[in-house]
Amino acid sequence: MAKTKILFVGAIGGMAYATRIANESGYEPVVADYYPDSQAKEFTDKKYLVSTLDTEALKKIVEEEKITAIFTGFSDNNIQSAQKLCSFYGFPTYISEKQLEILQNKLEFKKLCLKYGIPVPHEYEEDGDICFPVIVKPSDAYAAKGITVCQNKEELIAAVEKAKAVSRNDKVVIEDYLDGREAMVHFVMLNGKLKITSVLDRILSSSFKNEKKNLAPLIIYNCERYVKKVESYAEKIERMFLDLGFENLIGFFQGIWYDDEIYFFEPAVRFGGNASEIFNVKANGVNIIKKFIDYSATGVMDDSDIEKIDPLFDGFYCNLTFFLKEGEIAKICGEKEVFALDGVMDVQRFCSPGDEITSRKTNSYAAIAYRLVISLNDKNELKDLIARIHEVLRVEDVNGKDMIDWDLFDKILSEV
């Protein structure tokens, strides 16, 4: 019997893990993206070098390969492409075009949260009275594009212009800047039942004195104070999505922990780039990524083990993200050795030889080399694990110098 062919739209980050799961589950993954050496392409013989935004090129792959299902999950752009393809061919998809449009609009999301009693930062009109500091962002962009913190009216004027420049609808969000700890809330809805899957604490490099970068080298899960507060809003979140017409959904909210409250400010209707769903496999025995792969192939969602999902994991779970300094990548060493280390559940590569990291990119997520999914007995093991990774992992420039910014980890360990 022929295997079900699934087109994987995108091939970096968590898509490599998803491709491996598809293989293990008896599917035939066909992978498409515009990176020739992207990690997921190592796990299939069927791979295409094509932009994931080029839906006409993706349609040709669907028809030539006789694809009967589409899967993606870790990129906002790719979600849009996959949704269009699924709608065109009548393939199973958990989200409609209208639902996607609503939840990718920050203004619409805030209106929904206020309607259902979910806390969000206070918002201001562009020409109204404003209490500084505020944060300005485009209403419909993502990946931190066009965002500025403003301390006065002059900075606000420039920030609004910057945000509108990257907005498709020429609208911006102006809201209180809450100087708190950033938290992220991951959730899943299976057949109308919502569960919080993980709550995480992003330790930003900008939290260190004189550090300008707003990067998150360390993400810690199992934050009990966040979990209890978030779960107090779970029923309201579930009702909001049910009223929007969702039956199945995967996603997360970004939020700020401020004054013993969590304020939500942006949603995403996809798997998180940190692939936190992998933790649930070990912590709860539930493979959420596999559920959505199966759903893409069959149109049937398995919710039989949904009650096993618990965002308070037993142990110490985290993501380590390795950023690069300026230079051109010539050689990468030690990836397999890192994967073999105790405590490493997954290794996600975002770079390839030949990539150039400019000084501008070093202050952004374009400088990510690797993200690791880590499970340890307790936090005291983290320092030793980073040291072992440092011994084997290198991303060398053309002069043989290691480009990984290891100094970030010296700073964050004091925060754990």
CATH number of the domain that residue 42 is part of: 3.40.50.20
User: Across-strand partners of 317?
Assistant: 375
297 and 328, same domain (yes or no): no
Q: Could you tell me if residue 100 is inside a domain?
A: no
pLDDT tens for 58-115 read 999 999 999 999 999 888 999 999 999 999 999 999 999 999 999 988 889 999 999 9
Backbone angles phi, psi at 51, to 5 degrees: -65, 135
Q: Find the mean pLDDT for residues 108-123.
A: 95
What would the 3-class secondary structure string for 101-129 be?
HHHCCHHHHHHHHHHHCCCCCCEECCCCC
Total domains in the chain come to 4
Q: Could you tell me if residue 154 is inside a domain?
A: yes
Q: Could you tell me if residue 109 is inside a domain?
A: no
pLDDT in the model for residue 142: 67
Among 19-33, 334-348, 353-367, 395-409, the least confident range: 353-367
Mean of the per-residue pLDDT values of the chain? 91
* Domain's final residue, options 93, 113, 141: 93
269 and 202, same domain (yes or no): yes
Q: Could you tell me if residue 82 is inside a domain?
A: yes
161: its two tokens: 């212009």
pLDDT in the model for residue 180: 86
CB 14 within 8 A of CB 78: no
pLDDT in the model for residue 105: 87
A 10 A CB-CB count for 56 gives 7
* Domain's final residue, options 287, 308, 329: 308
pLDDT in the model for residue 295: 98
205 and 143, same domain (yes or no): no
187 and 158, same domain (yes or no): no
381 and 343, same domain (yes or no): yes
pLDDT tens for 143-181 read 667 889 999 999 999 999 999 998 888 889 999 999 888
User: What percentage of the chain has pLDDT greater than the value 70?
Assistant: 95
What would the 3-class secondary structure string for the chain be?
CCCCEEEEECCCCCHHHHHHHHHHCCCEEEEEECCCCCHHHHHCCEEEECCCCCHHHHHHHHHHHCCCEEECCCCHHHHHHHHHHHHHHCCCCCCCHHHHHHHCCHHHHHHHHHHHCCCCCCEECCCCCCCCCEEEEECCCCCCCCCEEECCHHHHHHHHHHHHHCCCCCCEEEEECCCCEEEEEEEEEECCEEEEEEEEEEECHHHCCCCCCCCCCEEEECCHHHHHHHHCCHHHHHHHHHHCCCCCEEEEEEEEEECCEEEEEEEECCCCCCCCHHHHHHHHCCCHHHHHHHHHHHCCCCCCCHHHCCCCCCCEEEEEEEEECCEEEEEEECHHHHHCCCCEEEEEECCCCCCEECCCHHHCHHHEEEEEEEEECCHHHHHHHHHHHHHHCEEEECCCCECECCHHHHHHHHHC
Backbone angles phi, psi at 230, to 5 degrees: -65, -45
Q: Find the mean pLDDT for residues 297-326.
A: 95
322 and 369, same domain (yes or no): yes
Confidence class of residue 204 from pLDDT cuts 50, 70 and 90? low
Confidence class of residue 226 from pLDDT cuts 50, 70 and 90? confident
CATH number of the domain that residue 289 is part of: 3.30.470.20
209 and 148, same domain (yes or no): no
Q: Could you tell me if residue 60 is inside a domain?
A: yes
User: What percentage of the chain has pLDDT greater than the value 90?
Assistant: 75
CATH number of the domain that residue 134 is part of: 3.30.1490.20
217 and 279, same domain (yes or no): yes
Q: Find the mean pLDDT for residues 43-62.
A: 97
Pairing of strands 181-190, 249-258: antiparallel
pLDDT in the model for residue 1: 64
* Domain's final residue, options 285, 308, 331: 308
Please report how the helices 76-89 and 55-65 are oriented relative to each other, as an axis angle in degrees rounded to 10. 50
Q: Which amino acid is at 183?
A: A
Cα gap 304→286, rounded to integer Å: 10
Q: Find the mean pLDDT for residues 260-267.
A: 91
For residue 111, give Cα distances in angstroms to 102, 106, 107, 250, 256: 10, 9, 6, 21, 18
Cα gap 106→199, rounded to integer Å: 21
pLDDT for 211 beyond 60? no
338 and 366, same domain (yes or no): yes
Q: Could you tell me if residue 220 is inside a domain?
A: yes
CB burial class (10 A; 0-12, 13-18, 19+) of residue 139? buried
Q: Could you tell me if residue 196 is inside a domain?
A: yes
Q: Could you tell me if residue 117 is inside a domain?
A: no
- Identify the domain containing residue 372 by its residue range: 316-415
17 and 72, same domain (yes or no): yes
190 and 273, same domain (yes or no): yes
219: its two tokens: 């993400």
Nearest to 290 by CA among 95, 71, 89, 96: 71
pLDDT for 209 beyond 60? no
pLDDT in the model for residue 143: 60
280 and 355, same domain (yes or no): no
Cα gap 136→145, rounded to integer Å: 11
- Cis ω on the peptide bond leading into residue 133 (within 30° of 0)? yes
pLDDT in the model for residue 135: 93
* Threshold 0.85, pTM exceeds: yes
